[in-house]
A and B are shown apart, each in its own frame.
Chain A
Amino acid sequence: MRQPVSSQPCIKVLRAGPLALLQDSGRFGVRHLGVTQGGPADLYSWAWANHLTANPWGSANLEITFGGLQLIARRDLQIAITGADLGATVDQKPVPLWQRVSWKEGETLAFSAPVNGLRAYLAVCGGFVAEPVLGSVAAVTREELGGFCGKGAKLATGDQLSVYSNDQQGREGLKQAPREAIPDFSQPAVLDLLPGAQIAYFTGRSLFDAFNSWWQVDDRADRMGVRLTGPRLSCKISTLVSEGINLGGVQVPPDGQPIVLLNDRQTIGGYPRLGSLSPLSAARLAQCLPREQIRLVAKGSEAALTEYRSFRAFFKKA
């Protein structure tokens, strides 16, 4: 059992910003209760933040959306920031991303606004302390589950955060991500879609359009789902009897504009689906800002599985 560093919280929130949430890998084995999965919207960057701080897979770190967050350290800490470049500074000096850095007692860590990408992940050596709810600390605000308080709340100004003591010395991995592992969020996202579900019911024209058009990320985008605008897709069936929906599912309501379902989606839904984004493509989409252009490409499930298994194998080794 890991112990908190001390009864004194290690970090104080000076300014909460629009949205910062504690996320472990998610809440599983509970979807039959109507409880969603939660977890990091960008699984890839989240996993790297844990790796660079020698925290095991599944450790909770902070998902910071848009920026605006300011934190002060109450003791010397080792941290890593991955994912989006939100203009992070420590005492006004830029913080290098995708590597372990020191954050000393009394210094202020501040995130400003998106430079590249949308969501940053802040991990602390040892990991954040929170009590699991239904097996997970993943914060889902809509369901009022998880997070530091257990009720799904996002970080609030004045919150005090505790950290486990760092007893992970034996499992040190990389302290800096190699250049080729760092995603370039300034490039248009090309997302792998595994065809499935009701794809056979879409018209030929719609299938051509789906994979040969630019899609624009709409303003209506959050942790539940991301709406895409572009050519109108038509399906021979307009609604289904509601059924379970998985991460990355691409559903098409009667208006013909697809919605990609992310971590906080409802557990069941009744719109026809083209298929699912691969987990790593769903993670990439979560870094797209409104009005960014994206492409969808069809991918076989075998290739997607190989890619996902090698991603997970890397983090298992460390």
Chain B
Amino acid sequence: MSLEPSLESAGLDGWIVRLFEVIDEHNLPWLSALSHRCEQEFGDALVDLVPSYTTLLVVFNPLMVSSPQARAMICRILADLEPEDSTHTGEVHKLPTWYDLSVGPELPRVAAQAGMAVSDVIEAHSQQVYRVFALGFAPGFAFMGLTDPRLECARLDTPRRLVPPGSVAMAGRQTAAYPTATPGGWNLLGRTSARLFDRNREGFSLLRVGDQVRFVPVSRNEFEREGGNTTPMEPLA
């Protein structure tokens, strides 16, 4: 794979480094390598790195580095960038998930769209190992993919006002679990008992870009034993 990166200004303290055009899990080892090199090269002048799908936003301290200097540093890194070994990058997380109509009311919708039985949707969703492409929308919210193409589904026409924490959801060919209660327009399939956003954890968020994730089906009993919240979803108006 060869890179044709481009740099776009993101203000006086940032550059967007565009490495790819399309979403692909093979982008991750490159984005991860670029992040690590930026940490080394910018050192104290680095403020933030925001990796996402195809790009890396590099935010630096403009009192220490000017925008042209930062550009030159990034170009030097890109000149000899090598992807990281993808088999060794990213933690593997198993998220115990209770797939059930009461907490995953869109299971029938996704099944109908795919022309599959609900049990097959659950199997297809839980068999795959997903990669985290980006965090955003809310703290610790990880966009993962890609799902089985048969499960591809549009967002809800009207987002829910409140999606409970732990909700496992899909939209397009991506999947996610809601770390906190937020509004949301994704299709709900079930709920995980994993603590995705925990104030007692370093960095709070369980998941990071590049991590690998599997949703592991569990029974209602196991879900409850792990502290899962079984309160059913209200039907959509």
Contact = CB atoms under 8 A, between A and B. Distances in A.
- Of A268, A278, A305, A312, which is in contact with the most chain B CB atoms at under 10 Å from its CB? A268
A281 to B, nearest CB: 10
Nearest to B23: A241
A249 interface: yes
A302 B69 CA distance: 12
B129 interface: no
A301 B134 contact: no
A28 to B, nearest CB: 5
B198 to A, nearest CB: 12
Given A243-B54, A244-B57, A275-B9, A301 B135 contact: no
Interface stretch (A4-12, A96-104, A156-164, A191-199): A191-199
A276 B135 CA distance: 22
Contacts of A249: 10-11
A32 B49 contact: yes
B205 A246 contact: no
Interface stretch (B59-67, B111-119, B149-157, B226-234): B59-67
A266 interface: yes
Contact of A243 (B53, B141, B203): B53
B195 to A, nearest CB: 14
Contacts of A267: 50, 135-136
Nearest to A28: B47
Contacts of B209: 32
B51 interface: yes
Contacts of A196: 8-11
Contacts of A224: none
A98 B135 CA distance: 40
B74 interface: no
Interface string A230-257: 0000000000011111111100000000
Contacts of A181: none
B208 interface: yes
Contact of A32 (B55, B67, B135, B143): B135
A1 interface: no
Interface residues of A, number: 45
Given A34-B140, A244-B55, A195 B9 contact: yes
Interface string A188-207: 00000011111000000000
Contacts of A268: 50, 52, 134-137
Contact of B9 (A30, A34, A276, A309): A276
Contact of A134 (B14, B21, B204): B204
A279 B67 CA distance: 14
A294 interface: no
A143 B139 contact: yes
A219 B12 CA distance: 28
A32 B51 contact: yes
A246 B55 contact: no
B16 A243 contact: yes
A34 B10 contact: no
Given A33-B205, A143-B138, A247 B53 contact: no
A28 B13 CA distance: 13
A194 B67 CA distance: 12
A76 to B, nearest CB: 36
Contacts of A269: 136
Contacts of A143: 138-139
Nearest to B18: A243
Contacts of A34: 135-142, 205
B1 interface: no
B47 A243 contact: no
Contact of B13 (A29, A30, A133, A246): A246
The 7 closest A-B pairs by CB, nearest first: A244-B57, A196-B9, A244-B50, A276-B11, A268-B136, A34-B135, A243-B55
Interface of A: 28-35, 37, 133-134, 142-145, 194-198, 241-249, 266-269, 275-279, 301-302, 304-305, 308-309, 312
19 contacts: A32-B48, A33-B139, A34-B138, A34-B205, A35-B139, A194-B9, A196-B8, A197-B16, A241-B21, A241-B54, A242-B53, A244-B55, A246-B11, A246-B13, A246-B57, A266-B138, A268-B136, A301-B12, A301-B67
